[in-house]
Structure 1
Amino acid sequence: MDGMHHHDGATSLPWTSLTALLILVAAAGAYLLAARQARRRNRARGWSTWRTTSFLAGLALLAVGLLPPLGTAAHTDFRAHMAQHMLIGMYAPLALVLAAPLTLLLRTLPTSTARQITAVLHSRPARVLAHPATALALSTGSLGVLYFTPLYNTASGRPVGHWLLHAHFLASGCLFAHAIAGPDPAPARPGVRARLVYLGVAIAAHALIAQALYGGFFVDIHAPIGQVQQGAEIMYYGGDIAELLLAGALMAAWRPERRTKAVTMSPKPGPRAAAPAPR
């Protein structure tokens, strides 16, 4: 029985890796086809090659995080898990979000379908979900629940738990990157200054969690102390770099509005100007 169980576990990893690879290849193909269709529909506007490259780079980062050797090591080594978390939850989401996949989708879909999607984006639930505060709670706030409760040990002990963590890291990371600096439409998104505040809170929270992991304060992780400390260092420095990149993306896309006073458009009459005579 033990031998059969070991054999099943050994064959399950290549199957899950192959599935992940097929999904990534399918996503790349779908994006490339949509970009080609967008160019055909509007040759003047076309579609940015830079955004296409960004999307493919995000998929490549996901491949590094999900596939062997890192994907295999993350099941047993906390350092590999943290590196995987950085790739799936922070670096890949930024590259994917900067590719503006939603804008590309709206350009390629029929007008009626695009209007329905736009209506959903303007709905109240979508606005609440896409708000930086919600995205911050789901992405950074969930790390406290993961590492300071038995959740990490429970999830890491089951293959399904690993993939659920991957899905959460990717979805929450994309949501936060979109809420802070995404080029896709985001109704009711706060101004740049407010988003910088939320980003600053995320940076501070990441630093506090990493320091708590390093010091072993309230940590519930079944792993060697050395692995936990090195994983905390990966989180501390890797998170800082990713969030600085996100801040750079926000500032690069910032276009401050020029406020012009009405007096420059229509100068006020002087004190001696006479009113027109009534007719």
Structure 2
Amino acid sequence: MEHGGHGGHGMMMDLPPFTLSRGLEFSGEPFFLISCSLGIVLYGWGVLRLRRRGDAWPVARTVAFVTGVLSVALVMCTKLNDYGMVMFSVHMVQHMVISMLSPILLLLGAPVTLTLRALPAAGRGRKGPRELLVALLHSRYMRIVTHPAFTIPLFIASLYALYFTPLFSTLMGSKAGHIGMMVHFLAVGLVFFWPIMGVDPGPHRPGYVMRMLELFAGMPFHAFFGIALMMASEPMIDTYKNPPASLGIDALSDQNAAGGIAWAFSEIPSVVVLLALVYQWYRSEQRQARRKDRVADRDGDRELEAYNAYLASLQARSGR
């Protein structure tokens, strides 16, 4: 992995000025290319297994998951990844997509539910992949890492502790460090959004109002981070202090652009997640109503009769 050290920056010295078409050229970063391909293949295998068995799987979930994987590939397997090493604004686009947009789409694809339904049960007394996954979902570890007291500070620290300490420059010094950082962003996004709007079963499922509060607890810090970068009067991140001359950019204005991107992006997921939450809420209310109707049909509205009898008894008592 060493070859990607500062020599990597040397290779990138001759990058021409950034344009969107140049940024979107395919670069085929191996780690993310293999991971994304594998993700889509395994998901497809799960859906096919269910279909063959005669079980349905919502098309919308498949679309959401595949779009989520492609959004990761878009920022990691294109020249955006090369430009992101030398331009703060492009790096910020990568960071925001992979930590705020990709996780939401992946979670809407319900990959855990699909895995649980597609994997065969190991049989009595034996432990197969399915049983291990169930055990993990119910583990104390999962309860901790998906708890808002853990996810919200982690979400915030991933911004401030990373960018405003020397850690960022260290990680950006090697390809392995850079990839590790991007994987971290994706993981943090997943554990942050999972209890809030994930379709999959999880250890924490607070009520809908609590979920909205959790969502809004993290976002102002994101916006403030963006504003701090926009207001700064000098470049704050060592890695991006001296951009290659071939790019023809000014470090400070590039940093201001990065701040604007971070600030604007904190609004987009909020809207998407809110819409998903309201829809899920509406659906669960409908399910509840249908369940009550079914119960009423079955027992001839016993609940209502009991309530009327209760009212009658109150009236009799007050009439005494």
TM-score by length of 1: 0.85
Q: Distance in 2 between matches of 1:233 and 1:52?
A: 32
Which residue does the alignment assign to 1:67? 77
Q: Using the TM superposition, give the Cα deviation of residue 15 of structure 1 relative to its aligned residue in structure 2, in angstroms.
A: 8.8
Contact 2:197 2:276 in 1 (8 A): yes
Identity of aligned residues (%): 31
Q: Distance in 2 between matches of 1:136 and 1:10?
A: 38
Q: Distance in 2 between matches of 1:196 and 1:249?
A: 11
Which residue does the alignment assign to 1:181? 197
Which of 155, 174, 193 is equivalent to 2:209?
A: 193
Select between 220-229 and 191-200 the one with higher mean Cα deviation.
Answer: 220-229
Which of 91, 98, 105 is equivalent to 2:115?
A: 105
SS of 2:266's equivalent in the other structure is helix
* CA deviation map 1:225-262 (0-9, x unaligned): 111110000011122112211221122111245698x9
**Counterpart code for 1:239:** S
**Counterpart code for 1:193:** V
**Counterpart code for 2:68:** G
* CA deviation map 1:136-186 (0-9, x unaligned): 222233211012212222211221211111110111111112121000001
**Counterpart code for 1:251:** V
Which residue does the alignment assign to 2:304? 264
Provide structure 2 residue ranges, at least 5 long, that are not aligned to the other structure.
1-5, 13-25, 123-127, 241-250, 293-301
Paired residues for 1:1-279 under 5 Å:
10=11, 17-41=29-53, 43=54, 45-112=55-122, 113=128, 114-216=130-232, 220-222=236-238, 223=240, 224-254=251-281, 255-256=284-285, 264-266=304-306, 267-268=308-309, 270-271=312-313
Q: Distance in 1 between matches of 2:227 and 2:9?
A: 39
* CA deviation map 1:20-72 (0-9, x unaligned): 2122112111110111101222x2x4111111111111111111110222111
TM-score by length of 2: 0.75
* CA deviation map 1:197-251 (0-9, x unaligned): 1111111111111111212289841232111110000011122112211221122
**Counterpart code for 2:141:** P
SS of 1:174's equivalent in the other structure is helix
Q: Distance in 1 between matches of 2:183 and 2:100?
A: 13
SS of 2:86's equivalent in the other structure is coil
SS of 2:165's equivalent in the other structure is coil
Contact 1:135 1:179 in 2 (8 A): no
Q: Distance in 2 between matches of 1:61 and 1:89?
A: 11
Q: 1:115 to 1:157 in 2, by over 3 A?
A: closer
Q: Distance in 1 between matches of 2:119 and 2:107?
A: 19
Q: 1:216 to 1:32 in 2, by over 3 A?
A: same
Contact 1:40 1:46 in 2 (8 A): no
Contact 2:84 2:94 in 1 (8 A): yes
Q: CA RMSD in A?
A: 2.9
**Counterpart code for 1:268:** A
Aligned residues: 265
